[in-house]
Amino acid sequence: ESVMSLAVGDGGALGLIWYPDPFGAQSAYPDQLRWARVPRASDDYEPTFAFGLSLRQGLALRERIAQASEPIVVRAVVESAFNSGQGAEPWQVMVEAFIRGTEPGLGQDVVLTGHLQEEGTSANDDASGTANVLEIARAFNKLIEEGRLPRPRRNLRFWWVTEISSQRQYFADHPEASEQMWVNINQDMVGADQSQDVLRKQNITRLPATRFHFFNDVVESVIDYMVASNTSELAQAQAGSGFYPNPHLSHLGSRDRYNARMIFFHNNTDHMPFNETPIGVPGTTFTNWPDNYIHSSDDQLWNIDRTQLGRNAASVALMAYAMASADSSSVARLAAETVGRGEERVGRNLRLGLTWIARSADKVTAYFRALDQIRYAGERERLAINSLPQIHSSARRTATPLLEGLDRREELAVSALELAYRQATGGEPPEREPSETERRLSGLKPVVTAGPVEFLTGRNRIGSVPGLHSLMAFEVLNAADGERTGLEIYRFVAAEAREAGDYYYGTVGPEAVLQYLERVADAGLLRLE
């Protein structure tokens, strides 16, 4: 787009012939054709056409032009349109299949997604995900119809979509639809041959802190199982285990280990429209990264590994069925995962806080950041424990003492911070003095006033705030539930960013949070009470 502006807008060129930077990252892929785009409209000039070449083709053409004794004449034939094969009306791919549960009225549908709209060379992104959704649906249907797998309590829904946009349109067309949905599992790039190129890793996202739910721990437990089952270690060989303890291999696939990892959340794929305001359905995605073949002519079947494709399909199927089938008999096991893993998460934040107090020259600032970290961790775990009664009403009896135990552990963590501060300074922690911006935030209680229809176009009016990571802006809006003050939102989201590390989400300041909330309010989507 920037080249179009310079060449056509400023230079008066008829069109572009583009190829990658010879000194850029794509220099390692000289025959790769990258996807590119040109602007549909501009206030400064009339956009026109462009042709994309590989690096090798581009350098050869440049050399030919440099050596030519007279201008080279070309004839360009451009066939382009902004409509689809279905006509000039706006049209998006969205197909649904359904396996009805035994209690379809629960309003807790489990939705699996993959997107169809990519170009012809899109084997991994996202033919792999859409194929897995289809295969999971086929396998479930066959096993249930044959009586080999009990029909789950909840509905299983399978969506093949246009990435992000068709879900947003669907929710705008059916504003009440999300009330029937419990969780989402997305697959976007799940077939990568992990032995190629930069050894691509299968990432699976944790839930955003604002959407935390026991579902997160179902996901993590399945991934832990699949990784351990398909990893070889010296000690397990000495114990008499096989090369892989419980291998999941395809006859025509590799024998590579399962290089998968749970990571802090990101967006940019089809779980995003579920997690975002105003929908609020917890969603996770399987998305491999890094990937130098994405959006290029190299995204072909030769870089797909049937073994990794199958492992991801099996993992998603297990997560989906566990959620769809959960009942009163599942509560104890799911609570054990939620509380046990929650203890690890709180412990991680306590470690961070104690480390800051020990290392920082500014002990007061370090102490209050550490305190915010523990309060954030406690609030997130309350969301997870409070989601357990969604399984069955009997889980309320389980959740109440678990919440009381969490309160006690949170206060023990705070006591550990106070002790660390006293040992580091010889004194007691002082009273907290908020900044002027923090005082302004404390007087606000933001509440979202718009629904899916208004957000469909309104979110484009918000814009970005310099210095605020887009994912943390996403969380600021998600946290505006009408209960939290602006100050509580700031402290919660700032702690979420610190937990992941400033290299991941950057840092979150009160000024940026206030500015973002004001922008959302100016867009007519939120009220600052």
End-to-end Cα distance, the chain: 41
DSSP state letters, 247-292: ----TTS------EEEE----SSTTHHHHSTTT---EEEEEEE--T
List of residues 6+ apart from 46 with CB closer than 8 A: 8
Pick the CATH number of 94-326 from 3.40.190.290, 2.40.50.140, 3.50.30.40, 3.40.630.10: 3.40.630.10
pLDDT, residue 241, reads: 87
Write down the pLDDT at residue 1: 79
Provide the mean pLDDT of the chain.
Answer: 95
Q: Are the C-beta atoms of residues 385 and 407 closer than 8 Å to each other?
A: no
Predicted pLDDT of residue 82: 67
What pairing do the DSSP bridges indicate for beta strands 109-115 and 181-187? parallel
Closest CA to 224 of 386, 337, 383, 333: 337
- Percentage of the chain beyond pLDDT 70 is 98
Helix/strand/coil for 404: helix
Q: Is pLDDT of 84 > 70?
A: no
pLDDT digits (tens, 9 = 90+) for 394-423: 999 999 999 999 999 999 999 999 999 999
- Per-residue pLDDT of 369-395, as tens digits, reads 999 999 999 999 999 999 999 999 999
As beta bridge partners, residue 98 has: 157
Instruction: Please tell me what DSSP assigns to residue 127.
Output: I
Report whether pLDDT(235) > 80.
Answer: yes
C-alpha distances (whole Å) from 104 to each of 101, 357, 388 are 5, 51, 19
User: Which of 113-141 are b and which e, b meaning 16 or more Cβ less than 10 Å from the residue's Cβ?
Assistant: bbbbbbeebbbbbbbbbbbbbbebbeebb
**372, two tokens:** 């915010």
pTM above 0.75, yes or no: yes
Estimate to the nearest angstrom the gap between the alpha carbon of 266 and the chain centroid.
Answer: 3
Tell me the per-residue pLDDT of 209-233, one tens digit each, with 9 for 90 and over.
Answer: 999 999 999 999 999 999 999 999 9
Q: Does domain 332-433 have CATH number 1.20.58?
A: yes
Task: Give the per-residue SS3 of 422-483.
Answer: HHHHCCCCCCCCCCHHHHHHHCCCEEECCCHHHHHHHHHHCCCCCCCCHHHHHHHHHHCECC
Confidence at residue 63, expressed as pLDDT on a 0 to 100 scale: 95
Confidence bin at 19 (pLDDT 50/70/90): very high
What does the domain layout of the chain look like in residue ranges? 2-67, 94-326, 332-433, 435-529
Residues 154-212: tens digit of each pLDDT: 999 999 999 999 999 999 999 999 999 999 999 999 999 999 998 999 999 999 999 99
**E strand or H helix at 137:** helix 129-145
